[in-house]
A = this chain, B = another copy of it.
């Protein structure tokens, strides 16, 4: 089997599981208990928070450990009461909250990038939080987070000079960026940042929200007051320890993996472009993740192609996993302006740590054959 759906889920790194093992077995103590064994668990949990903070250039008290990206995003966006501004290619959680909260949704261009002047002019005085994904999970387009952060600073200063009290916060969902892009919060200039362990070879059901010191969010979950009062409930010790190990490893391998995977991806892209002259390569040519190739082939039935590839031993996606499961057309592909019949012929091939050159070599003829057969089959039914 050739797994090429790393943007949907990454396998747990065996070193991560090894780091977690004591906390899944002997070290099961409640970190809030008084005896020494429990206090050691607490210390190791806090050490994990410290390590997570270090990778993202933050202080430990700025790291809130959550049950994953969706919770982190909800904590960030529900933590403020003013208007939310976002884009039309964000994760379902951001778009759902923008809808519930009557938010402002700005469009992206045909490559999935935000127009920074459109963004700036959309920041009305009611906007309190801007949420923009660092890298899109479907098409891999990367936004200029630093530039957006500068705009936010500029608007904040303007508000201050005009005596407008409303704060302005900038949140980015960096779930897909970890392991490929710079996720140092100080360098990026973000106020809030979401990460997901399950997307960077860490345990599932663990994420974090970076909350810059001084920002007061409203909790989603009340109780014992854990996680600086922002996320009550017994701490996820094994999860945090695994996440810290995974993020350290991802950061360590980041530059080499970025080079390695973009070469493999470019090679595959060139092959597809050569085989199918009418293929559309979705996303930005330059500003994109190194591991994502999203293609659309007119007349192809993407869903059927995914099943045929699965039977041939290749696991890829068409649109996002969530959307795929519900049989709805990808909102991201619609947002970048693809015609429905082009969007329906899309495949997302996402590479990862276990992807090799020989796997890509093996994939090429399978992919070409499946697409050709499907196109013929589609034509026969047309």
Interface size class of chain A, counting residues whose CB lies under 8 Å from the partner chain: 35 or more
Indicate whether A35 sits within 8 Å of B233 (C-beta atoms), given known contacts A30-B321, A92-B224. no
Q: Is the pair B28, A221 in contact by a Cβ cutoff of 8 Å?
A: no
Q: How far is the CA of A232 from the CA of B74 in the complex (A)?
A: 10
Q: How far is the CA of A238 from the CA of B309 in the complex (A)?
A: 27
Q: Per a CB cutoff under 8 Å, which of B97, B223, B239 touches A70?
A: B223
Minimal Cβ-Cβ distance residue in B for A239? B205
Indicate whether A310 sits within 8 Å of B10 (C-beta atoms), given known contacts A68-B233, A70-B223, A74-B221. no
Indicate whether A198 sits within 8 Å of B34 (C-beta atoms), given known contacts A220-B220, A224-B93, A224-B322. no
Q: Per a CB cutoff under 8 Å, which of B34, B37, B220 touches A324?
A: B34
Binds B, one of A1-9, A160-168, A264-272, A287-295: A1-9
Indicate whether A37 sits within 8 Å of B222 (C-beta atoms), given known contacts A232-B93, A321-B32. no
Q: Mark A237-248, 1 if CB is under 8 A from B, else 0.
A: 111000000000
Q: Is the pair A29, B9 in contact by a Cβ cutoff of 8 Å?
A: yes
Q: How far is the CA of A224 from the CA of B326 in the complex (A)?
A: 10
Sample of 15 A–B contacts (CB below 8 Å): A5-B30, A9-B30, A12-B28, A17-B25, A33-B321, A34-B307, A34-B324, A35-B310, A67-B67, A70-B223, A71-B221, A96-B232, A204-B236, A204-B239, A220-B220
B-contacting residues, A60-80, CB 8 Å: 67-71, 73-74
Q: Per a CB cutoff under 8 Å, which of B26, B233, B326 touches A67?
A: B233
Knowing that A70-B221, A74-B232 touch, tell me 8 more A-B residue pairs with CB under 8 angstroms: A5-B33, A8-B38, A14-B25, A33-B317, A34-B307, A91-B223, A92-B223, A204-B234
Taking CB atoms, residues of chain B closer than 8 Å to A382 are none
Q: How far is the CA of A15 from the CA of B204 in the complex (A)?
A: 20
Q: Which of A8, A36, A220 has the most CB of B within 10 A?
A: A8
Q: Which of A232, A238, A324 has the most CB of B within 10 A?
A: A232
Q: How far is the CA of A311 from the CA of B270 in the complex (A)?
A: 67
A325 within 8 A of partner (CB): yes
- Which 5 A-B pairs rank lowest in CB-CB distance, beginning with the nearest? A93-B223, A70-B233, A96-B222, A32-B321, A9-B30
Taking CB atoms, residues of chain B closer than 8 Å to A315 are 29, 33, 35, 37-38
Indicate whether A28 sits within 8 Å of B9 (C-beta atoms), given known contacts A221-B71, A224-B70. yes
CB A100 to nearest CB in B, in angstroms, measures: 6
Indicate whether A234 sits within 8 Å of B68 (C-beta atoms), given known contacts A17-B24, A321-B32, A321-B33. yes
* This chain: copies in complex: 2
Taking CB atoms, residues of chain B closer than 8 Å to A82 are none
Taking CB atoms, residues of chain B closer than 8 Å to A17 are 24-25
Q: How far is the CA of A306 from the CA of B223 in the complex (A)?
A: 24
Q: Mark A143-161, 1 if CB is under 8 A from B, else 0.
A: 0000000000000000000
B-contacting residues, A235-261, CB 8 Å: 236-239
A11 within 8 A of partner (CB): yes
A303 within 8 A of partner (CB): yes
B-contacting residues, A94-128, CB 8 Å: 96-97, 100
Minimal Cβ-Cβ distance residue in B for A23? B204
CB A292 to nearest CB in B, in angstroms, measures: 15
A318 within 8 A of partner (CB): yes
Q: Which of A10, A35, A67 has the most CB of B within 10 A?
A: A35
A365 within 8 A of partner (CB): no
Q: Is the pair A238, B35 in contact by a Cβ cutoff of 8 Å?
A: no
CB A356 to nearest CB in B, in angstroms, measures: 18
Q: Per a CB cutoff under 8 Å, which of B67, B306, B310, B324 touches A32?
A: B324
